[in-house]
Amino acid sequence: MSLDLCRRYLGELIAFPTVSADPNLDAIDWIAGHLEAAGAEVEVMRDPGGTKANLYAVLGGNGPGGILLSGHTDVVPVTDQDWSSDPFEMDERGGRLYGRGTCDMKGFIAACLASLDRLKAAGRPVHFAFTHDEEVGCLGAQALVEVLKTREVLPAVAIIGEPTMMQVIEGHKGCCEYTVTFEGTAGHGSAPERGVNAVEYAARYVARLLDLRRALMARAPENSRFDPPWSTINVGGLHGGVAHNVIASRAVLEWETRPVVPEDLDFVKRGIEEYAREHLLPEMRKVAPEADIVTETIGEVPGLTPMPQNAARDLVLKLTGGNGAGVVPFGTEAGLFQGLGIDAVICGPGSIDQAHKADEYVSLEQLQLCLDLLGRLSGEA
């Protein structure tokens, strides 16, 4: 019965096109209605623009020792992807449910909602955190954490339901994203020395990032469990210029770093900021005093650090029968909750290999395993 309910809820969630660039309020209101009907105390926290919201709810009273179930409501775009069916209308084929967000990560949210009757019989509070804009820097979770910092009572453990094929994950790297805008001056391409070519300076900035990337490989912590074992840097996009024969007056660079340890983030930021300040900007301003390099921090999300003592890991290993916890290269909101002093673990239905792709899917078998975990969780709470 709960699997049929989970399938139905997932289909309704998929029908909300909650791409990160668009509002998620309809989906949040729909989720809130189910939680309120189950007797949960529900808070809807809108972002400053009023078009996005987090949902935080507590079932069973806000006492100590609670369990937090967490997931994000936003999904990545489907633009230029070749889907076999409508990505926002769930399609069932061969024991798989297809649609944008089925595994990343509305399948987990649907399983939580389908398990409310069992969870509300738990012996300790069950908290729910469903956030916005995880895919673009965990913006919703960062705002939620600031609210939770003011609360006297927090959950003791957190389960973040990102797709792990229901394997228990106790660690991942951080994810820090930046957009850098280079402002130069235009001019005729026949006299490049008379302008400040923003694309050229952005390219030099990228070259310095690649130098730092090589240096990070030599800084890999001993016995690192990650793959690759070192902190990484990726250049995601470089946009600028208007024509072959015009000096580019503006360029926008998008890049990220995924630190294994916080010290690597400091190393990268210090290295690139010094290079821009001491080398690039002086050269640019010799030609045009108004030239500039402006960095916008999109998000600096901490990693989930494997800890010797982790009650969430131990609880989920017991409930799943797992014999060990792993680490993953992708980022989640788990480190933000860990920063509040909450023991955190990642475990959810579906595979990250299906996330962000055309024909994203989650199997019915994976959803059933998730429902089984939540059912056993209610008995352990």
Tally of residues, the chain: 381
CA distance 72 to 65: 23
CA-nearest of 183, 145, 170 to 337 is: 145
Contact 57, 40 (CB under 8 A): yes
Q: Which amino acid is at 188?
A: H
Neighbouring residues of 191: CB distance < 8 A, sequence distance ≥ 6: none
H or E stretch at 224? none
Helix, strand counts (H, E) of the chain: 11, 15
Contact 11, 113 (CB under 8 A): no
Give the start-end residues of each E strand in the chain. 41-46, 53-59, 67-72, 91-93, 96-98, 126-131, 157-160, 169-172, 175-183, 232-240, 250-258, 292-301, 326-328, 343-346, 361-363
Please tell me which residue in 91, 104, 133, 134 is annotated as part of the active site.
Answer: 134
Catalytic status, residue 134? yes
CA distance 238 to 199: 8
Contact 311, 353 (CB under 8 A): no
CA distance 278 to 206: 16
CA-nearest of 48, 18, 36, 40 to 131 is: 18
CA distance 79 to 151: 40
CA distance 117 to 139: 31
Catalytic status, residue 74? yes
Contact 241, 253 (CB under 8 A): no
CA distance 121 to 376: 12
Which residues are registered as beta bridge partners of 70? Answer: 129, 160
Q: What is the bridge-based pairing of β-strands 361-363 and 96-98?
A: antiparallel
Q: What residues are annotated to the active site? A: 74, 134
